[in-house]
Amino acid sequence: IRHLLSGADLDADTATQILDTAAEMAAVSGREVKKLPALRGRTVVNLFYEDSTRTRISFEAAAKRLSADVINFSAKGSSVTKGESLKDTALTLQAMGADAVVVRHPASGAPHRLADWVDGSVVNAGDGTHEHPTQALLDAYTMRSRLGRLAGLSVAVVGDVLHSRVARSNVLLLATLGAKVTLVGPPTLIPVDIAPGTDVCYDLDAVLPSSDVVMMLRVQRERMNDSYFPSAREYARRYGLDGPRMRRLPEHAIVMHPGPMNRGMEITPEVADSSRSTIVEQVTNGVSVRMAVLYLLLGGNNR
């Protein structure tokens, strides 16, 4: 593949190749000297029009561990504030020799437009409410490393599914890799255009005993008005994962969250900091998965 824009870009073989390559990269990340020469002389641009902690730093760490040069661009403090368009910004970065552009943008579809304008590879690092494919890959990697497989797993994706690019990419990728996804949340926060084969349930307590994975989603108050979300206390009571609910999960089940969390809203600190939680592990795995993505796009068989 040349770009990674959507979970739908990945067939099972390609996704598995990325996860297997990430496992090899994890061995490098565990070494004292965490560097490989694979992308020496290549330039990766992090083009971020929306705030990020994990994804931006993770891509930067991944590119540096592969010996690429990294340029970090944040819309704040750039000529974007003077009205410069995404296209002109992208062409400027290309003129400086970008081999890959990692883009986060509030507009759904922005990375797809970018891919038409630049010669290098484009990686979608989150576009509006649309997709976040490398998050889905690191989530799949985490499930596979904790539970030993993806095919046949029951994964409950819980909360503000409507506004979640993480959920959308996970639904696509997990279906490709043979896991069964159930979307759980209040009816106002479940989209109407559900992918075929995906279940929906409005009762969190009903799905817990049969779930191998519970993926809690951040409630994205910044993307909604009160008609979606009448009361934080009522939301936490019905859809928050707390200690008593966690204890209804099977013994082996894990709890995931892409971060950033609203502690006390969709997840309590007791659950977030428990041994079932993979939240910190997801961040660690994100670096290996993004190393694998950059390696396969820029240094692998494609060039």
Residues engaged in binding ligand CP (CB under 6 A):
52-55, 126, 132, 135, 258-260
Residue 94 annotated as binding? no
Residue 87 annotated as binding? no
**How far is Cα 103 from Cα 95, in angstroms, rounded to an integer?**
17
Q: By C-beta, is 52 or 108 nearer to ligand CP? A: 52
Minimum distance, C-beta of residue 277 to ligand CP, in the bound complex (Å): 15
Q: By C-beta, is 7 or 299 nearer to ligand CP? A: 7
Which is it for the CA torsion 278, 279, 284, 285, positive or negative? positive
Q: By C-beta, is 57 or 147 nearer to ligand CP? A: 57
Q: By C-beta, is 54 or 221 nearer to ligand CP? A: 54
Could you tell me which of 110, 109, 108, 111 has the C-alpha nearest to residue 100? 111
**How far is Cα 133 from Cα 9, in angstroms, rounded to an integer?**
9
**How far is Cα 263 from Cα 22, in angstroms, rounded to an integer?**
30
**How far is Cα 105 from Cα 102, in angstroms, rounded to an integer?**
10
Residue 112 annotated as binding? no
Strands 199-201 and 154-158 come out as unpaired
Residue 42 annotated as binding? no
Q: By C-beta, is 127 or 208 nearer to ligand CP? A: 127
Minimum distance, C-beta of residue 153 to ligand CP, in the bound complex (Å): 21
Residue 218 annotated as binding? yes
DSSP structure class, residue 195: P
Residue 35 annotated as binding? no
Residue 2 annotated as binding? no
Could you tell me how far CA 4 lies from the centroid of its own chain? 12
Residues paired with 254 in a beta bridge? 213
Minimum distance, C-beta of residue 135 to ligand CP, in the bound complex (Å): 5
Minimum distance, C-beta of residue 57 to ligand CP, in the bound complex (Å): 8
**Cis-peptide into 260, omega within 30 deg:** yes
Q: By C-beta, is 92 or 145 nearer to ligand CP? A: 145
Could you tell me which of 241, 259, 285 has the C-alpha nearest to residue 52? 259
Minimum distance, C-beta of residue 248 to ligand CP, in the bound complex (Å): 26
Q: Judge whether 249 and 214 are in contact, CB under 8 Å.
A: yes
Minimum distance, C-beta of residue 117 to ligand CP, in the bound complex (Å): 24
Annotated binding site: 54-55, 82, 104, 132, 135, 165, 218, 259-260
Annotated binding site for carbamoyl phosphate: 54-55, 104, 132, 135, 259-260
